[in-house]
Structure formats: structure tokens, C-alpha cells
Amino acid sequence: MLPFVHQWYPQAHRRAHAVAGIFVLFLLAAVPAGAEPVRVGQVEAELVAEISQLVPGQPFTVGLRLRMDEAWHVYWRNPGDAGLPPKLRWELPEGFTDGEIQWPYPDKFAVPPLMSYGYHGEVLLPVTITPPATLAPGEPVTLKARAEWLVCKEECVPGKADLALTLSVGDHAAAMNEQWAPLFAATRERLPLESGDWRVTSSVNDNSLIIDIAPPAWLTDTVADAAFLPFDQQVIENAAAQQFTRTASGYRLTVERSHLSQ
């Protein structure tokens, strides 16, 4: 049973700016070298690469991999009612540029009356790195980053680590890193889509955000449930039940607005 995730930027009629978030529908050669994973308290952290070597001028993807001890979790870009998201501060060689963290959709962690969003077990947070076109093939390149996070169970513990990843530079298209490519592929299945065949419209009233979802004509499965997760805090009441119903044209999701946003 695979999830469908769509990035959504509705124009809210009663807000001065758009509400951004995701809704989740549930349907019936050279080997990179680097430091060993760093263990900090309840978290194992490391930088990993999707490719086996980089190519001058060609963007590639690396990721912050976090593995948490059982029953501990870290947070999504919007932590919900409590928590802080992981951060990365890069120290890259001259001419390299980094993109924003790409956030796979999170799990929910309920501690009534609060609801938080985050990850347990293992998570990969991908980042696109672009190297300069002037790199000389054959030379190793080391990427460094300071990672920071907050990991929680009953209590919360801040953590940080200085991480490094060394890659060789090739002169042809790089092969996938057999060790980490499956994790990158699984993570991409959980990333928001910029566009797709689903039609999504929205409106707001005094109390609710209303999302109408029209599935594509090719869909034969029935959508069993859906959830809206805002990118920003104080948009919805995170712990409130979201009402999912069938309509003549598809489905409707009714979400209680944050009392702080009204």
C-alpha cells in the first residue's frame, strides 16, 4: 500500500498569504569514503551520497542520515505543537553550492493535548549539492556539515555532530551508490510532488480549512483516508481530528484552523 504525497499551495481566501503544506493519501565503481557514523546519545548521524563519484558541474544528492534509538524521534520541518527540526550548516569547498533540505512526509506523535510531526527509526534528509564545472577529475573532494537536532522520548535531548563525506571526482556519468541508493529511492517516494494529475482546491471559513481533492481519471483504487500537514506552524489545530468524506467529484478534507491564526 503506497502513499501518494502532493505538495499543495492553495490560495486562502481570508489570509494575506498562501497556506503551504502537504496532504497524504493512503491507497488500498568508485566507492565514496568518509568518516564512520557519529554516535551522539540516542542518535547515529552521518552524511551519505546517492552517487559513487561526482562529476564536474553536475548536481548530485547527499543526505543527512539519522538513526534513532527505539521509542525516540526527531522532528519534521514543522515540528507541530512542540520540538525543533534538524538543521544543517554546510562547509563546502570553493565553488560548491547547497540546496534546501528536502523533507519526506513525517509520522505523528501524540502527547495529548499536543501533536507533533517527525521521524522515528531512521530518516534520510536529502540535499542537492552542485559542484563547479572546473573540478579536475581524479581529485577527492570532502564535504563537511554541522548537523543539529532535538531527539525526544518522554524527555528531549539536543544533539549535534560535525560530519564529513569524501567523494572522488570522475569525468563521466556517475553510477549509483549501491549501499545508499535504495534509501534515497525510498525517501523520494515520501517527498511532496510539485505537480501531478490530482486537482486540489481550497477555501477557508472562520473555523476550518476545506480541501477538495479530485483524483485523476486513471485512478481505480479508492482513497481510504487523507491528512493535511502544514509546512508552517500555527496553521491548523494539529491534534484535532480531520474529517475526510466522499463528494460527487472526489473527496473533501475539513481541517480545524489554529485558534492562534484566527
With 80 as the cut, is the pLDDT of residue 28 above it?
no
Cα distances (angstroms) measured from residue 181 to each of 20, 106, 259: 29, 20, 43
Q: What is the pLDDT of residues 116-165, one digit of tens each?
A: 999 999 999 999 999 999 998 888 999 999 999 999 998 999 999 999 99
75-92 tens-digit pLDDT = 999 999 999 999 999 999
Q: Which residues pair with 89 in a beta bridge?
A: 146
Contacts of 60 (CB under 8 A, 6+ apart): 49, 50, 51, 54, 128, 129, 131, 174
**53 CB neighbour count, 10 Å cutoff:** 24
pLDDT tens digit string along 37-76?
A: 999 999 999 999 999 999 999 999 999 999 999 999 999 9
Instruction: Tell me what the pLDDT averaged over the chain comes to.
Output: 88
| Helix, strand, coil in percent for the chain, rounding step 5 | 5, 50, 45
Cβ pair 43, 66 in contact under 8 A: yes
Confidence at 23, pLDDT banded by 50, 70, 90: low
Helix (H), strand (E) at residue 183: helix 181-188
pLDDT of 9 higher than 80: no
**Residue-wise pLDDT tens digits, 195-224:** 889 999 999 999 999 999 999 999 999 999
Torsion of CA 62, 190, 65, 164, to 10 degrees: 10
